[in-house]
Amino acid sequence: MKITQARVIVCCPGRNFVTLKIETDAGLHGVGDATLNGRELAVAGYLQNHVLPCLIGRDPQQIEDIWHYLYKGAYWRRGPVTMSAIAAVDTALWDIKAKIAGQPLYQLLGGRSRTGVMAYGHATGRDIAETVEEVLRHKEAGYRAIRAQSGVPGLEKVYGVSTQGRLYEPADAALPSEHDWDSSKYLRHTPRLFEAVRGAVGEDVHLLHDVHHRLTPVQAAQLGRSLEPYRLFWMEDPTPAENQEAFALIRQHTTTPIAVGEVFNSIWDCKTLIEKQWIDYIRTTVTHAGGITHLRRIADLAALYQVKTGSHGATDLSPICMGAALHFDTWVPNFGLQEYMPHSELMLSVFPHDWRFERGMLYCGESPGHGVDIDEQLAARYPYQRAYLPINRLQHDGSLHDW
């Protein structure tokens, strides 16, 4: 079997998505997600100019060899652009391999380990009362795990909180919008939020929170400790993780579980965090961490140290990534939790899919492959629109801070 054609499709049905479609001489095709929020065209260009010419004529069944051909063959290893491009190829090739076998993808990975995939939803509000209301609405809808974020008094815009009352989409402007930040205000407010949320929702729901890289290690340790009475399922991205050693300090001071890794793109980004058991959940997912082939390496390393998966599932990952991730989650022995942030109806119609959400659980489909495709004609009606993630400045003097 040979790859006969490969093309990159960029579309914006409400937000930008980069999709790779690989076709074969057997009449089968596969698709992969290559979306890198705010830097979409860099990955599209990398694929278009440097990857696609090398794919034509290759046997699509040689997934492992093609992965290493693209990783080692580039000489310039790792990085979000390279790894998202490799991930898209890898996802499309797994899709093709499973279609050849006539099996849903999870069967090729080793079969089903669970009946469904536990998902967490996002409850956000402009203040504590609104967030509590949203948490209760999610509980009512059947969610067993809920992430709670709220506006902070004295701060105008906060990560995760929509000011227009619609679904939150962080890449909200053609040039980066500017947010203001004050860690002391946030550190005072967040324990109050969780006191109210835990009081209202009871004991049976898992509660999560995303710090979004805003704190220093010692501030993160303070926050983790102050949240212990509310028994969080996890505290996410408490501090930036380029320096993996930073997590040793957080770990010394708090037993609040820690989840990290949505911005990681390889096993090397989390090797020390996992081996030292400084984290409890690894948040890498298919698109940004080198596809199914590389994600499996990360999950296997994590399993040795009882670290579980907690895959990123924001709307900047396309429904293709979600489909592939759900097959992965259905198989992976050390599964923890899957993030679920619903795409709009329009986005879902551009990507016909067989996965579904039902009362707090996600289920992959049973059709051959990963079960997601792209409607190219519909996609063509929604061309790319430049959109950036925001930046953050300290409120008192305008210094650039982590967003």
Hey, which residues are catalytic here?
A: 159, 212
CA separation for the pair 139, 200 (Å, rounded): 11
Question: Taking contact as CB under 5 A, which single stretch among the options 43-51, 67-75, 160-168, 204-212 is the one that binds Mg ion?
Answer: 204-212
> Does the footprint of Mg ion cover residue 90 (CB under 5 A)?
no
Question: Taking contact as CB under 5 A, which single stretch among the options 183-191, 224-232, 260-268, 301-309 is the one that binds Mg ion?
Answer: 260-268
- Residue 401 is encoded by which pair of tokens? 């801070």
Query: To the nearest whole angstrom, how small is the minimum distance from the Cβ of residue 170 to ligand CS2?
Result: 5
Judged by CB under 5 A, the residue of 23, 40, 210, 316 near Mg ion is: 210
Strands (E), 232-293: 234-236, 258-260, 281-282
Query: To the nearest whole angstrom, how small is the minimum distance from the Cβ of residue 263 to ligand CS2?
Result: 8
Nearer to ligand CS2, 339 or 373 (CB): 339
Site pattern 218..257 for Mg ion (x: CB under 5 A): ----------------------------------------
Strands (E), 169-260: 178-181, 206-210, 234-236, 258-260
Question: Taking contact as CB under 5 A, which single stretch among the options 6-14, 71-79, 87-95, 261-269 is the one that binds Mg ion?
Answer: 261-269
Nearer to Mg ion, 303 or 314 (CB): 314
Query: To the nearest whole angstrom, how small is the minimum distance from the Cβ of residue 314 to Mg ion?
Result: 7
Structure-token match 């930036």, residue found: 240
> Does the footprint of Mg ion cover residue 339 (CB under 5 A)?
no
**Helix-, strand-, coil-residue percentages of the chain, each rounded to 5:** 40, 20, 40
Helices first, then strands: H and E counts in the chain: 14, 16
Q: Crossing angle of helices 291-304/63-73, nearest 10°?
A: 90
Nearer to ligand CS2, 285 or 367 (CB): 285
314 binds, among ligand CS2, Mg ion, none (CB under 5 to 8 A by kind): ligand CS2
CA separation for the pair 316, 295 (Å, rounded): 18
Q: Which residues bind ligand CS2 (CB under 6 A)?
A: 37, 170, 210, 212, 262, 312, 314, 316, 339, 389
- Does residue 326 come out as left (phi exceeding 0), alpha (psi in the -120 to 50 range) or beta? alpha
Q: 121 near 358, Cβ under 8 Å? A: no
Q: Which residues bind Mg ion (CB under 5 A)?
A: 210, 262
